[in-house]
Amino acid sequence: MTTRTLFVRDEGGVFTPANDEIIVSAAKAHLSRRIRKGAAFTSPNVVRDYLAVSLGARECEYFCLALLDARHRLIEFVELFRGTIDGASVHPREVVKLALVRNAAAVVIVHNHPTQIAEPSVADEAITRRLVSALSLIDVRVLDHLIVGGADVLSFAERGLL
């Protein structure tokens, strides 16, 4: 098996081997440029990569929303609630308020599982139903609910849960 060493140039112009932190930081920066305001959510792989890198290794649960316009272009990606190692309190009122303030036509719900297991819980399914119901009252579509478990990203839409 052949190993490859990546190098980076330091401030003095000297090439040095890159460590894991530098590589992950560069990957996050690259993916963040691809998922920026106005970017269309048309490539599921780019979205999954971005979420896996940005949320996959977090030690507590984060509940996020990707707010989209009528053409499914990103308005903003918001980390709305932060929880503990095994859950986050999600308040539908705050989700609806944010969608209205940002003038979103659609949203993608995202949260991570610090356990690194991307399987939905009963609570995940219940909050998804509540949010779909609440957001439908203001004509905001929920396109998907993605669960990030390490490098794996599960889609409710692909599983037929949405």
Q: Do both 15 and 51 map to the same domain?
A: no
Q: Look at residue 125 in the predicted model and tell me its pLDDT.
A: 95
Q: Domain containing 45 — which CATH number?
A: 3.40.140.10
Q: How many domains does the chain have?
A: 2
Q: Are residues 25 and 59 in the same domain?
A: no
Rounded Cα distance between 11 and 5, Å, is 19
**Residue 48: predicted pLDDT:** 79
**Domain range spanning residue 4?**
1-34
The token duo for 121 is 């819980």
130 and 105 inside one domain: yes
- pLDDT less than 70: residues of the chain: 1-2, 6, 20-44
Rg (CA), the chain: 18
pLDDT in the model for residue 83: 83
Tell me, yes or no, whether 117 and 153 share the same domain: yes
Q: Are residues 5 and 46 in the same domain?
A: no
Q: What is the reported pLDDT for 64?
A: 92
Concatenate the DSSP letters of all residues of 90-157 into one string.
--HHHHHHHHHHTT-SEEEEEEE-TTS--PPPHHHHHHHHHHHHHHHTTT-EEEEEEEEETTEEEEHH
Q: Model pTM?
A: 0.74
